[in-house]
Amino acid sequence: MQSTSEASVVDELVTDVKQEVRLARRCFAQIDRLTNLMMSYPPGHPIVEEAANVTVQSFREFFEHNDRLSVLVDAHSMKYLGTEERVWETEDPRDYSWALSRDGVYLLHILAGIDQNELRTFVEVLNQLVDERDLSKDAVSILFEAGFRYISYDAIDESLAKLAGLEVDIRDRDTKEEQELIEELFEEAFDKEQQNNMTPEQARQKQQEEFQLRMQKRSERQQRMELGSRQFLDLSPEAQEHLRELKRGFTEHAELEHREGEILAAILGARPKEKLRHQSIDQIGEVMGTLLETQHPWESLEFLKLIHEWRDKFDGPVTGELKNVVAECFTGRRLALMIKMVATAPPDVRRAILQMFNALHLGPASTELVRLLAWDIPEDVEKDVKRFLMERSKYGVGFLKQAIFEVPAEKAKPLVEIAVARMPKSKDVILEIITQPAEPEIKVMALRSMSGHWDSPDQAAELLTPLLTASHEGIRIAALRGLADANPSKLFPLLSGMLNNQLAKKSENEAKEIALLFLQLGGAQALVEMKELIHKRGVVGESDRDLAVLLAKLIARNPQPGVVELLTEVANDWLVPGKIKSTCKELSDLLTR
């Protein structure tokens, strides 16, 4: 029996989910409104701006309850992940949900942190899909090229099938009525063909081996789907029959492997004894390896999808064993060949391979692609690889750690940018850059990104203090600012020691940073010490005089409380040497005008 406390917790959870569903509906309603307005009004129109602000606010309200809005994409609706509740639906024949599902996008995630610019880009992508401005690109390619930081997706990419040689009309998917008509045409054609070709012995075998029958039906059903299109209905009966004959040999270069995969999956689905199970899994690995060594390695992903369709019928150990055998297929040699294809192949092939890497979550592939950036590769290849690495960094940044120190400095910068974008998840990588020898530019980027992410003030002091005397000015200034932010009490006495004759040897920018931070952090005490250094009377040495003049000029650049009074007091003291006195008077007059 459920206790009262347990029941209250369940009720509270249900209430939270209902609230999230309500807010998610509001978010997608605003996106729907914004898509219409952006198609109707020019950029910058007040109505569009207001709608964009309302849309962002809707998402902010949702993210107060959950840091991720995930929806299952259906043909004309979207369901809130984990529920049966629809957060958006329409009766329009063509809408952005239909466009996404048409191209295989079945899961969409919008993450906390998304801003108005990224939401606008997302809406532009949706409008592009619905308008079908560029029929050569599908939803997966367009989303991939957009390079979103806070939007991700899962997709069964039909463009892979197209690249592999399938003549799939993914741009003109059939309506429900047309699908029914095509289904009737093919049922009649296939049933007739089977009746003519099947012997009595084959009929008996069909009854005895049920899994082979299921496999055959699935194969025929898939073939019918691939043949269906609006254009098919416009053909004459003779042309339709001719098209059937042509299309029956689809994926010829991988047909044998795909059929073998269906058979092996069916055997595993029948839960065989251990020996046969191991033989089947090993054979799947061999077929997978064969496909990876062809000129169309992404066929292996299609092959895995055939296996995956049987997963509900597998014994418990099978899933883990399959994962292991698939991982073993991606040997160093095979991976190197595919990386070379990424660098040299046309864009459609390159992106198909990258999408396969992404779908299979191949860690070694990310590491090798990072090293690829050290090569002299075309700009479009470099752009695609960087976009892929940014996408993979959502799941972890370990692949960056070693590579940042291996590639040339100019190539390492975009890798550091990825690490910075994934803070604080990438803190280990950033700290490695700070503590190890690295190019000044990327070390400065790493130092800046640690603002607000130090484990403790002591950690900041330990790592930043040695950098205050680094040979590179940018590193010294970044360390000054970082320590001022994380451990100001530690920095103040260090700054006091820097106010000496060596200050004149530093650049004006660095000297000003030291003087201003000293006054900001030290308050009244800093003002007293600064006065002792500037308010010199009587006979003064040249070095002390020059330091006083320099400090007066520095603190006047961005005067803190008490600075004007200090300069005025020095300017009015007749015992102060002339150069110091005249400098302070000039600065005081400028500040009091």
Burial class (CB in 10 A: 0-12, 13-18, 19+), 354: buried
Domain annotation covers residue 3:
no
pTM value is 0.50
pLDDT greater than 70 at residue 401: yes
**Cα gap 397→400, rounded to integer Å:** 6
Phi-psi region of 147 (alpha: psi -120 to 50; beta: other; left: phi over 0): left
Helices (H) and strands (E) in the chain, counts: 30, 5
Average pLDDT value for the chain: 75
Q: What is the pLDDT of residue 69?
A: 92
Domain annotation covers residue 585:
yes
Domain annotation covers residue 118:
yes
Domain match, 152 and 47 both = yes
Domain boundary among 313, 329, 345: 329
Domain match, 134 and 28 both = yes
Domain annotation covers residue 135:
yes
Q: What is the pLDDT of residue 489?
A: 84
Given pLDDT bands bounded at 50, 70 and 90, which one contains residue 224? very low
Domain match, 142 and 23 both = yes
Tokens representing 317 are 């150990």
Q: What is the pLDDT of residue 161?
A: 34
Q: Which domain holds residue 541?
A: 499-592
* Cis upstream peptide for 466 (omega within 30°): no
**Cα gap 124→187, rounded to integer Å:** 41
**Cα gap 361→328, rounded to integer Å:** 14
Domain match, 148 and 244 both = no
Domain match, 58 and 148 both = yes
CA distances from 207 to 200, 212, 395, 436, 529 (A): 11, 9, 47, 69, 98
Spatial CA neighbour of 413 closest among 379, 391, 444: 444
Contact between 113 and 155 under an 8 Å Cβ cutoff? The reply is: no
Question: Parallel, antiparallel, or unpaired: how do β-strands 151-155 and 68-73 relate?
Answer: unpaired
Task: Give the number of domains in the chain.
Answer: 3
Domain annotation covers residue 34:
yes
Domain boundary among 117, 133, 156: 156
**CA 242 to centroid of chain Cα atoms:** 45
**CA 98 to centroid of chain Cα atoms:** 24
Domain boundary among 123, 156, 189: 156
Per-residue pLDDT tens for 451-509?
888 888 888 888 888 888 888 888 888 888 888 888 888 888 888 888 877 877 788 88
Contact between 571 and 581 under an 8 Å Cβ cutoff? The reply is: yes
Burial 165-185 (b: 16+ CB within 10 A, else e): bbebbbeebbeeebeeebeeb
Phi, psi of 538 (to 5 degrees): 75, -145
Q: Which residues pair with 69 in a beta bridge?
A: 110
Per-residue pLDDT tens for 304-342?
877 777 777 777 788 888 888 888 888 888 888 888 888
More confident residue, 97 or 403: 97
Domain annotation covers residue 465:
no
Contact between 400 and 438 under an 8 Å Cβ cutoff? The reply is: no
Domain annotation covers residue 420:
no
Domain annotation covers residue 476:
no
